[in-house]
Structure 1
Amino acid sequence: MQNAINWFEIPATDFDRAVAFYSAVLAVDIQKAEFMGEPQAFFPMDRESVGGAIVKSDRLTPSATGTLIYLNLGTVENLEQALERVESNGGKVYMPKTDIGDPGFIGLILDTEGNSIGFHALKPNE
């Protein structure tokens, strides 16, 4: 098993609001589509990477206390910039950039839908 995770879904009650939030905060193009009868918006990925989507579905409920996923922001600079954009886009930062030692840096947010989401960036090579 190369990765423990290969797909994730972030539940949304207001699909368009959630897509706008993640597009703005992460500064990425998130593609909307319908999959298996549900609106989904796909985070950028390729066949070799972990993928995920924002999903509006009766089977999913946003939660601040359930499973916590960490989105890979790539660089510390990207992590800092994303955290700076959270509150102006309707979310809340409840753990600012925090050094976690060798694994790098994390920040925790509450998105517009009520989901607790982590951001992660590896430490830069020194």
Structure 2
Amino acid sequence: MKRRAVVFALLLASCGGANVDAVTGPVARVGAVFVPDAGGLGIEGSSERIDFGRSPGGVLGALDRELGPGKPLPLDDCPGDIAYQVAFGDLVLTFTDERFVGWRGPSGTAGLVCGKFA
């Protein structure tokens, strides 16, 4: 019985499969392009959005996945409600403990933001 199972597994493994010759190397990853606006972040070429009020975990998870890990910044010159701010390049997002509340970058600011960019 064991031999029959092994023969069946080998037979099954030899059937079909992907065309290995068609794979030439790793596929370059194309991340989303986030467009800051008055209501949060739009996603270029999509109707999807990351609006103010979303949970920090969801917002940071999406940006980390698409842009790489953000850089936590100090809370200097921040209103008391701000719990943390994170930079993704020149785009800085601000959060309370429970919500995404603002951004600042080269194109301006929206929502609740901190002072100096670090």
Give the alignment's TM-score, normalised by structure 1: 0.30
Greater RCO structure (CA 8 Å; 6+ sep): 1
Higher CA-based Rg: 2
TM-score by length of 2: 0.32
